[in-house]
Amino acid sequence: MSLQISRHLKLVITVGQAILLGSCANLPYYAQAVDGQIEILRMAQPITMIIADPSADQKLKRVLARVVLMREFASRELKLPDNKSYTSYADLKRPFVVWNVFAAPELSSELKKWCFVQAGCVNYRGFFSQAEAESYAEELRNEGYDVHVGGVRAYSTLGWFNDPVLNTFIGYSEMELARLIFHELTHQVLYLPGDSVFNESFATVVEQEGVGRWLDSNGATSQRALFNARQGREAIFTEMVMSHRKRLQELFASDLGDTEKRLEKARIFDELREEFTQLKVTKSEFSSYDRWFAQNLNNALLATISTYTQLVPAFQALLAQKNGDMSLFFDAIKEISKLPESERATVLQTAVENHERTNIAER
């Protein structure tokens, strides 16, 4: 039995366990997850084979050749797992690999959670079919939830399988391609079941550090400037969204009646849009966020931004404390992950405060 077939069997067994542990109503959901994952693995071809194929698309071959270098860089310089993930390629013939459904109560900023075997509790539910995702989203809307459906171009199987490069993100710029690969490989270093904010913030910091080092090592001065500019825009965008989300949290915790809360909630979203419009007047480069603001602004959408950024300052502080040594940084994060949630929060907050004090002292 080949290793890949063996892992397929492992997936089926694990999902079977999940079905037995869960409700029979979940059977179609788990079945589509198995089918979707097996389809991806079945379609994957080794990158080396594609590059060596004279009939393969030349542009694709050039991009995949850069991926090979990124993959080697990830293990050598960032100490990310040295395995066969991102050494194969699959064309799924669709724009996204999965569609995630996020939901939050109408008067709460906290995302609904779903619990699964292995992954623990997560604040989204993923579907390999957009139609199925939209159908499930509509069920949640009918139950009164704020809902957001987002197409996902890549995800990590946490080292269970050799994740391939996909057509869903192969068209990214070199900077974006590196970001995604470094981010997803980080989930193989450590994944804490039930804590999406911890997992995604950790991967975001490694991704940011990795891209900076990749661009520096390749002498891409102009790309480095673009990367720095993008980081600055993301920081401003995130701060803007998070400040309004904080206002919503304060509103939902207030003694106002539900009718008043709904009116104030709508006003806060209107003010977020207006602030963005005014920002673009003086900084036209922020038009890159037009598509984000074209969506239905609701509690679920804003919470997705928080998931990826909430603990970024803490992980950045810990990386700085380790003088950028990725091995020491990973060791520290693994130790922190073993702590109870309340203790993790305290350690991470202390890291931020110590880092801020050090910065002030050095000025």
Higher pLDDT, residue 250 or 221: 250
Does 13 have pLDDT greater than 80? no
Q: What is the mean pLDDT of the chain?
A: 90
- Which of 215-229, 233-247, 298-312 is the least confident region? 215-229
Contact assessment for residue 91 and residue 43, using Cβ atoms and an 8 Å cutoff: yes
CA angle 254/255/259 to nearest 5° reads 95
Specify the pTM. Answer: 0.87
Helix axes 312-321, 341-362, angle to 10 degrees: 60
Does 21 have pLDDT greater than 60? no
| Closest to 211 in 3D by CA, of 167, 174, 170 | 174
Q: What is the amino acid identity at position 270?
A: D
Looking up tokens 């993301």 gives: 234
Does 2 have pLDDT greater than 70? no
Helix axes 27-43, 3-21, angle to 10 degrees: 170
| Closest to 81 in 3D by CA, of 175, 168, 157 | 157
The pLDDT value given to residue 10: 44
Q: Predicted confidence band at 225 (pLDDT cuts at 50, 70, 90)?
A: confident
Does 215 have pLDDT greater than 80? yes
Dihedral sign (CA 265, 269, 271, 272): positive
Cβ atoms < 10 Å from Cβ of 178? 27
Structure tokens at 98: 């999965």
Dihedral sign (CA 205, 210, 213, 214): negative
Residue-wise pLDDT tens digits, 115-173: 876 667 889 999 999 999 999 999 999 999 999 999 999 999 999 899 999 999 999 98
Contact assessment for residue 167 and residue 90, using Cβ atoms and an 8 Å cutoff: yes
**What is the per-residue DSSP string for 20-41?**
HHS-GGGHHHHHHHHHHHHHHH
Higher pLDDT, residue 363 or 97: 97
The pLDDT value given to residue 7: 44
**What is the per-residue DSSP string for 244-293?**
HHHHHHHHHTSS--HHHHHHHHHHHHHHHHHHHHHHHHH-GGGGGGHHHH
Phi-psi category of residue 158: left, alpha or beta, with phi > 0 → left and psi -120 to 50 → alpha: left
Distance CA 158, CA 190 (A): 8
The mean per-residue pLDDT over the stretch 271-283 comes to 97
pLDDT > 70 fraction of the chain, expressed in percent and rounded: 90
Residue-wise pLDDT tens digits, 325-348: 999 999 999 999 999 999 999 999
| Closest to 190 in 3D by CA, of 178, 201, 180, 181 | 201
Does 12 have pLDDT greater than 90? no
**What is the per-residue DSSP string for 176-239?**
HHHHHHHHHHHHHH---TT-HHHHHHHHHHHHHHHHHHHHHHTT-HHHHHHHHHHHHHHHHHHH
Q: Predicted confidence band at 19 (pLDDT cuts at 50, 70, 90)?
A: very low
The pLDDT value given to residue 224: 84
Contact assessment for residue 100 and residue 119, using Cβ atoms and an 8 Å cutoff: no
Does 362 have pLDDT greater than 70? no
Q: Predicted confidence band at 8 (pLDDT cuts at 50, 70, 90)?
A: very low
CA angle 233/305/185 to nearest 5° reads 90
| Closest to 308 in 3D by CA, of 235, 228, 251 | 235
Contact assessment for residue 145 and residue 104, using Cβ atoms and an 8 Å cutoff: yes
240-255 burial string, b = 16+ CB within 10 Å, else e?
A: bbeebbebbeebbeee
| DSSP 8-state assignment for residue 57 | -
